[in-house]
Amino acid sequence: MSETTTSTSAAGRFTGTRVIVTGGARGIGARIAERFAAEGAKLAVLDRLSGPGLDKAASIGAWFGEVDLAEPESTRAAMSAAIGELGGVDVLVNNAGVLEFGTVLDTTVEAWDRAFAVNTRAMLLTTQVAARSMIDAGLGGAIVNLASMAGKYGGENEAAYASSKAAVIALTRVTALELGEHGIRANSLCPGYVLTEMGAATRTQEMIDLWSSYSPLGRLGTPDDVAGLALFLASADGSYLTGQAVNVTGGMIMH
């Protein structure tokens, strides 16, 4: 695991709040990290992409830890290192995820296991480490898990991905039920189609136009659309929200 430490002097509603963001090197995770940094948070970014991760961390004054979240022991070690570097943790944003495409008939065991290892099991492990630290500190905390619209309605050619994201929603609800007595809130976000680097290789302009037509707003989501709600759920303004799976879909689904 490689890391770097820098500092920031930004001020805002998260001044002094200790935040860990997984998958923060690019895409939605990077934008979430940027928004927290702009509002004064003390940040740790975890990602397997060391080059982009180090660059992003340096640009926003965050600590960076390189980790493959498919590896349980490395995940626990990276979380412990991040908490040690921050001096504790107040907010955990479980953003990291992988796309695995395949039909029910064609999905391989390897693709299924990879989707669940990164998209779901890693969230369990990071939550365990972070929540124990939050409980020991006695200050409560907030956990925001990135699920997906696919976790609510399914999706053709997404057997492993949609299933893993449905599991994220269930895990979030159990977390909220069990940790609420410690003042720890847990919510999940269910984005729809968001233009990020992760899906760039598999989409065409025709796909973008079609997906945009599914939204009453006539457009796809942006990382900022998701980041704004992630910060709300982590903030005092969201203090009575827990166990929710909040849609960020531009109205593509409304339940």
In-domain check, residue 11: no
Which residues are the active-site residues? 161
**Residues 176-181, mean pLDDT to the nearest whole number:** 98
In-domain check, residue 187: yes
Domain count, the chain: 1
Return the half-sphere exposure (C-beta side, CA atoms, 13 A cut-off) of residue 159.
12
Indicate which CATH number applies to the domain containing 189: 3.40.50.720
Q: pLDDT tens digits, residue range 16-64?
A: 999 999 999 999 999 999 999 999 999 999 999 999 999 999 999 999 9
In-domain check, residue 4: no
Q: What is the pLDDT of residue 202?
A: 72
Question: What predicted TM-score, i.e. pTM, was given to this entire model?
Answer: 0.93
**Residues 184-188, mean pLDDT to the nearest whole number:** 98
Q: pLDDT tens digits, residue range 103-142?
A: 999 999 999 999 999 999 999 999 999 999 999 999 999 9
In-domain check, residue 6: no
Q: pLDDT tens digits, residue range 141-158?
A: 999 999 999 999 998 999
**Amino acid present at 220:** L
Rg of the chain (C-alpha set): 17
In-domain check, residue 253: no
Helix H or strand E encompassing 188: strand 184-191
Which residue is associated with the tokens 């702009």?
38
Q: What is the pLDDT of residue 58?
A: 97
Residue 83: domain span: 18-248
* CA 77, chain centre distance (Å): 18
